[in-house]
Structure 1
């Protein structure tokens, strides 16, 4: 379902969105609230930062395509924070010990766990906003060490992802040296699809058949189950490293490549790993073991992580009753909600990465995630009037949508306290007159901006209409 003028978010979900904006806005040297464990495996900071972008981009594309300001700043900050030595320094050691190489460029060769993830983040941000800053040459300086800096942009990253797929005998290419991971490659495929949409190309489409062939032949077992990992040298996998929970995460992005392969994963999980308990009315997990009960973003024991991961895939396939029940159990039993001093919400004990799966589960309905990547926001919302300046902790945006490229529809909630708040609108017609549903009126300045004041006490609709053509 594409963004429409009747889509808006409930207040509870908005407070989870607020938390991810807060995470995205933390300073480059501030890692409080993040999971700082290691920088080599799934608890790495890079995955947490990329997930902030994916989650906020989903919120923006589906519910608030006419919103800029702090949500965009949080995405940019997360992208640029992921370039810093604390995040990227691991690649020096991966290169030295895994490849015996002094070329530490993290994009050029066999590092899809950066290039693919980053490509998806960049494609979502650029496609949602029309902001072309990351198309500029050398706009993304990857700092592996203080002095080893490798400069790229969205085009060069896409080029190397495509080149690595073309050069690999498996098409699927490695993350860690000599190890192919399914999840990283399907995430990169989503990034490639998003890139092609933004720049009107067909690079991935020309590779889809070969990619899918190797995904099925090399990265699935005889039953068709997606394998998480295979050695490029031996073809061996590592048993037990991931189960249905990990496969569900891969399946969400596999839909961009082949819907039947993705839908099969959900069908199997739905019938073999989830069961309705008629006494409690809740869905119970079954057939899980080992890694399925570990939060892969922190390595800590967690059943809530499985509930949220399954809920994400369930909502993408329209099984709302299952998803809502799984989220409710995560919120109330497995990983209870905690409120921060700012009023934002998070699930206690859930990592930033898996919490992002949970946030996207709360945000999406049938095929919303697919449409976020494949179609993106309506063009009139990218180019038309936007809410650009607002106090994001006191003004919670449930909807920001331009129906025609001239007017702006907002649905707002106050944060912890009711009150009057200023909003800065941008991308208006310079020097044009506008009227607001609360009775106010104003004339946009020569830069196409205008300031309005709104009173918020619960759900509040604000409609700004252009009344004078220039």
Structure 2
């Protein structure tokens, strides 16, 4: 089925859970039945009230505090409030588990509440209390069963409606996905675009151990420094590939620096804790065990660096070595990251790799898969070819909810999934990466999502976009607009792209300061995603991953940053065409020329040295075009 002419339908909804998820849910239910049995045995067979109350606490979190709860006495109300506080505390432990991967938090909270209730002086346990607990439990289980049945019926109905809608859109594909590729052979950034690029370059080109301009909030969730580095690097790489493939200089240096910053201990130190309390292992190496949020994301960073520059720096053995403060070194490179990804994909029952210990995110896995595909194309290998079918099958069977949306994440140990919260962004952004892995699925999910974006009057529905910035948890729709625009650019939906970028400018206006454009309320992560979107073009990411361009020669090199800003640099036969922004006389470096050959740079004659390099001085006045050509050439 060709992704540009047909739409793959949603699979029939015949079961609540996929096979792997169902096995995990059943295992969880059996574990709870064992806990319920132990609690019931203590409740009815123990002779001490404290043990019986402990048994009530095992039946559900905070249940032991209900031993003397009522609404008629002061002490009874106190017990009831204690039970409610206990259930709230258990809810917080679940958030801690989700947010940090700390799998010990929920069971320890449950056990601690049971012990705490058992140590209180309740007096004799009343039979009416026991009856109330079991009645409440039966009511909760019955309500859950009814809710699941209702969900199943509604979901089956919605699948039919959605598939009918998808079928109706077949004739509209050319209207919806209407963006063309680059109209120009040598696309060029505007000065405004260059000033936005400087937001990333300024952060990348500072000393490796400095992180000025990065947000430091937490290292466990989406505000983590590693994600800021990832997406700034992705933005620089996509910009390099589209606008300046024939420029080496500070664009290459920025990508290398953003990768080397990923190797700084402060960026990956979080894993020592997560691995300890999530996997009960003391190994701080973030690559040694399933941890796609680091391994997969960094691997894609390396892949895009190679695809956009033609360089293989990080394929050199040991090039990405991580040094622990203890002095222990973890020797890695692109190859070791890829081997880890391959192993983990195969070893996981879900065929998707966990991020935080236990939590599996489809989005993160599409990023890791894109990295493998990119290196396959660059090295003419077939790592992903044998895995693509299984990946797609498990993605559809295990991570597609009843209403046709990919769940944000799922617990690998319990099978429980978070609902599709967060507005349109967590539904839109996977489409960007899916367009490389399974473009028909990307197109299907985008069409289903697109219905939510516009009101009846044709205006963008602001309420569909999450008002909290993923990158810094502040109140801003910057990340939501940027991520949705990014997916729209890749899929070729110019209507959504323009609407999102306009809304972004309206709600988070650009600010120019010292030659750099930023948005005050937007996170660094959102700035990186916006840079990616501005470098995007229809199927641009997919083409860069699957068919990386040949190394452009000759190349601009050794230009002073930020003294000279390169808006465009493209190979032109045996020469080069570029557009530079600067004022005054500047030294221009070239590399990749034919050794000892004669060239003209505009009207300046020069001769390449034996290594194919040359330097000359050029007077620049604002926007200046540069044409380098072999003497006697066109």
Asked whether the equivalents of residues 226 and 247 of structure 1 are also in contact (C-alpha less than 8 Å), the reply is yes
Corresponding residue number in structure 2 for 1:249: 429
Contact 1:88 1:143 in 2 (8 A): no
Is the 2:307–2:544 Cα contact (8 Å) retained in structure 1? no
Q: 2:206 and 2:456 mapped to 1: Cα distance?
A: 41
Tell me the distance in 2 between the aligned counterparts of 1:380 and 1:97.
45
Q: Whose RCO is larger (CA < 8 A, sep 6+)?
A: 1
> What per-residue deviation string (whole Å, max 9, x for no partner) do you get for residues 210-242 of structure 1?
000011111110222111100111110123553
Deviation at 1:283, TM superposition (A): 2.8
Alignment pair present for 1:340 and 2:513: yes
In structure 2, the residue matched to 1:305 is 479
CA–CA separation in structure 1 for the residues paired with 2:539 and 2:183: 11
Once residues 328 and 302 of structure 2 are traced to their aligned partners in structure 1, the CA distance between those partners, rounded to angstroms, is 22
CA-to-aligned-CA distance 1:57-86 (integer Å, 9 cap, x gap) = 101111111111111111111101111111
Matched, 1:394 2:563: yes
Q: 2:597 aligns with which of 432, 444, 457?
A: 432
Q: Does the CA-based 8 Å contact 1:2-1:62 persist in structure 2? A: no
Q: Give unmatched runs, 5+ long, in structure 1.
A: none
- Give deviations 1:311-342, integer Å, cap 9, x for gaps: 111111222243223213312x211111232x
Please say which structure displays the higher CA radius of gyration.
Answer: 2
- The separation in 2 between residues aligned to 1:266 and 1:149, in whole angstroms, is 44
Structure-2 residue corresponding to 1:446: 610
Residue 365 (structure 1) aligns with: 537
TM-score, normalised to structure 2's length? 0.69
Structure with more strand by fraction:
1
Q: Partner of 1:325 in structure 2?
A: 499
Q: How does 1:174-185 map to 2 (within 5 A)?
A: 174-185=354-365
Alpha carbons 2:286, 2:295 under 8 Å: kept: yes
Partners of 1:35 and 1:45 within 8 A in 2 = yes
From 35, 47, 52, the counterpart of 2:215: 35
Separation of aligned partners in 1, 2:617 and 2:554: 16
Following the alignment from structure 1 to structure 2, what is the Cα–Cα distance between the partners of residues 321 and 167? 42
Structure 1 counterpart SS, 2:321: strand
Say which of 613, 618, 627 aligns to 1:463. 627
Alignment of structure 1 residues 75-154 onto 2, 5 Å = 75-154=255-334
Alignment RMSD (CA, Å): 1.9
Classify the secondary structure of the residue corresponding to 1:87: helix
Q: Within 2, Cα distance between the matches of 1:112 and 1:409? A: 40
- Aligned: 1:412 with 2:580: yes
CA spacing shift, 1:421–1:430, aligned 2, 3 Å: same
Q: 1:275 to 1:433 in 2, by over 3 A?
A: farther
Q: Under a length normalisation based on structure 1, what TM-score does the superposition of the two structures give?
A: 0.92
Contact kept, 8 Å, 2:591 with 2:614, in 1: the verdict is: yes
CA deviation after TM superposition for structure 1 residue 134, in Å: 1.3
* Cα deviations by residue, 1:171-216 (Å, 9 ceiling, x for unpaired): 1011111111111100101111111111111111211000000111
State the shift of 1:247 in Å: 2.0
Asked if 2 retains the 8 angstrom alpha-carbon contact of 1:28 and 1:81, the reply is: yes
CA distance in 2, matches of 1:6, 1:100: 53
